[in-house]
Amino acid sequence: MISDSKVDTALHVLKGAVQNVLGASVTANVYGEEGKGRLTVEFDRKPTEEEISEIEKKANEKIKEDVPVEILEMNRTDAEEKFGKIIYDKFPVPSHITKLKIARIKEWNINCCIGKHLRSTGELEEIKILKHRFRESRKELEISFLVD
């Protein structure tokens, strides 16, 4: 679990931008500590520098929109019926968990997440991508970032 609510919220904003630009929807891993984080998604090729710039641009546009970050607590069956499997990442929630906590930025990102989040994207100031690394053997893209 990410303990910094800014970083956790930034991960959702950044993942939405990655989905928007690259179409990558499955998170393989996340990491965060105060003010910085790393998002790893399943992806099948090395992105261009232009695509990485576009991801950062779209993430920061979403911050400026000041969109609410909704936290939904739902019965697992109801959540799966309403949203589908997109709420899960590479490592799904164990089957014995029947109540889910879901973070949603409407029309941008939705994921099961037990972390703490800000009330809206506008509470973030900026996401700055520091570096990215494509791991061919694992078919994964890692994006490291700073968030204010």
Cβ 139 vs Cβ 44: under 8 Å? yes
Task: Tell me which H or E stretch contains 20.
Answer: helix 5-22
pLDDT tens-digit readout, 3-39 = 799 999 999 999 999 999 999 989 999 999 999 999 9
Residue 78 reports pLDDT greater than 80: yes
To the nearest 10 degrees (0 to 180), the angle between helices 49-65 and 5-22 is 130
CATH of the domain at 126: 3.30.980.10
pLDDT of residue 61: 98
pLDDT of residue 2: 74
Residues spanned by the domain of 139? 5-147
pLDDT tens-digit readout, 86-126 = 899 887 789 899 999 999 999 999 999 999 999 999 999 99
Residue 1 reports pLDDT greater than 70: no
The H helix count followed by the E strand count for the chain is 3, 7
Query: Per-residue pLDDT averaged across 33-54, rounded?
Result: 96
The count of structural domains within the chain is 1
